[in-house]
Amino acid sequence: MTTINKSGWRPEIGERSADSVATFTGNRALMLEEPLLFEIGRIDSTGVDLPDTVIDDNRLGGLMRAAPVDLPGLSEPETVRHYTRLSRQNYAIDLGLFPLGSCTMKHNPRLNEKMARLPGFADLHPLQPVQTTQGALAVIHELAEWLKTLTGMAAVAMSPKAGAHGELCGLLAIRAAHDAAGSERSVILVPESAHGTNPATAAFCGYKVENIPATAEGRVDLAALMTRLGPDVAGVMITNPNTCGLFERDMKKISDAVHNAGGYVYCDGANFNAIVGRVRPGDLGIDAMHINLHKTFSTPHGGGGPGSGPVVLSAALAPFAPLPFVEKQGDHFVLIEEETAEDHHAETFGRMVAFHGQMGMFTRALTYILSHGADGLRQVAEDAVLNANYVLRSLDDVLVAPFGASGPCMHEALFSDDGFADGFSTIDLAKGLIDEGYHPMTVYFPLVVHGAMLMEPTETESKAALDQYIGAVRSLAERARAGDPALKAAPIFAPRRRLDETLAARKPVLNWQAPVDAMAAE
């Protein structure tokens, strides 16, 4: 056991303990502690000199600010250092492997970024005349054609801004189709292993949500699904490959049963990266599926935006697709923004957004597709599945893989915390990964597995990178199984120690308040 003297110095490894870091600055070598802007700057100063200006309040309609805004004033060096220091505390795909499961985090090629910054794309304005945006409309149209080809679907809605927004689009099309047929249906069936946005979107659309159980091998219980189908069921929402990292072998049987009952099949396409180029969802009877461009086609996860979640639609739902859409007429492209009786969108449910498209995402995605080609995209799926199975089989002797006995996984490897020492759980291994220099994997999801740890390495990681990650996880798993008390303190070397996550969720502190001066208060 390592001993630490009063100074906190551990001479055998030349290191201070985390608890003995100097309190004056809080800095740890090159990892600098960074206060909030309000703690750095002063509200009575500014970083720039502006001339005194007299503003006529009448010009502001009586909205002249009555009190100072109380924002801190910083000089340029202080501002630059603040954000640079904060950036050093972020983990990013450019730093290392991002093992999040069900949230594909793959390398974003720099070629994509270069194309997205080309004049005509980067400086495009949504209100430009259509004759000045022909190149942009051509990109949208070509990307749409690729998405239809890769999925085997009849139409695609390009306007949804994210996966959940795409789910909304698909369910609105399903509702419109039932309304047009005079069919009043109120229930959406969702497997218990589904992404949380699936039942949330269905409820948002006014449907009642009923869960369908999973089998012992982690797939949809076909018998239970068929038993529940009836005249009140509008459709099902199924993720395939599912969130257990498994392909739904009965997908075609499920689709046929739902169609025979008068419903539609929505597929959550979050995991399309595992089957792109190998499986066409349209061939499986899918009626609607959103495609997360950031997961399958390498556009960045935008941190809340900009995102893009195009929705491919079957021939049965194509007439109900939202407006607007791009159409090629001769040598020109036009943006169809109104219903037309002659067009196959004549029964559209309307618009989803004020302006069409996310050009930055579309340009990146099309660049990625064209640089790979159909054969290259097929290899993307094959390598993603190969890497995930390598992780699965390299760890299943130290971590329990609940569905490992049912055969290979798809794009992600699923483990549980069964076998850990008493008092140790998934959260301890996840926090330990931070000390090893990795962002933790997805934890406690899917809910069908106790203490779930979901790992997706993607196709962009080399064997050497995977071996290093596997070594870190193996070490942590062995410590958790042995009950190493030091693991309970992790992370030790991160900018912040382990938080009380329950308290943070129940009583979050969402705004900064200046510390109270104890002497002044007295």
Q: Residue 59's pLDDT is what?
A: 76
Read off the pLDDT of residues 240-258 as tens digits, 9 standing for 90 and up.
Answer: 999 999 999 999 999 999 9
- What's the average model confidence in pLDDT over 481-494? 95
Would the pLDDT of 224 be above 60? yes
- What is the distance between the alpha carbons of residues 507 and 273, in angstroms, rounded to a whole number? 38
Residue 16, pLDDT above cutoff 60: no
Q: Which two tokens stand for residue 191?
A: 């497997």
Distance CA 311, CA 293 (A): 11
Q: Which one is predicted more confidently, 3 or 125?
A: 125
**Helix/strand/coil percentages in the chain, nearest 5:** 40, 10, 50
Confirm if 271 and 290 have CB atoms less than 8 A apart. Answer: no
Overall fold of domain 376-506: Aspartate Aminotransferase, domain 1 (3.90.1150)
Q: Which of 13-22, 118-127, 225-234, 405-414 has the lowest mean pLDDT?
A: 13-22
How far apart, in whole angstroms, are the C-alpha atoms of residue 278 and residue 310? Answer: 19
Q: Taking a C-beta distance cutoff of 8 angstroms, is the pair 305, 275 a contact? A: no
Residue 521's pLDDT is 54
- pLDDT at 518 (0 to 100): 52
Q: What topology does CATH give the domain 111-121+132-368?
A: Aspartate Aminotransferase; domain 2 (3.40.640)
Rounded mean pLDDT of 24-33?
Answer: 76
**C-beta neighbour count of 8 within 10 angstroms:** 14
Q: Do residues 287 and 235 lie in contact, with contact meaning Cβ atoms separated by under 8 Å?
A: yes
Q: Is a pLDDT exceeding 70 seen at residue 209? A: yes
Burial of 498 (C-beta count, 10 Å sphere; 0-12/13-18/19+): middle
Closest CA to 289 of 269, 270, 314: 269
pLDDT greater at residue 364 or residue 15: 364
Burial class (CB in 10 A: 0-12, 13-18, 19+), 255: buried
Question: What token pair was written down for 8?
Answer: 């906190």
For 281-337, the pLDDT digits (tens) are: 999 999 999 999 999 999 887 655 568 999 999 999 999 999 988 999 999 998 888
Domain positions in the chain are: 1-33, 111-121+132-368, 376-506
The band of 201, judged by pLDDT with boundaries at 50, 70 and 90, is very high
Pairing of strands 442-443, 413-415: unpaired
Token pair belonging to 352:
């989803």
| Rounded mean pLDDT, 96-110 | 91
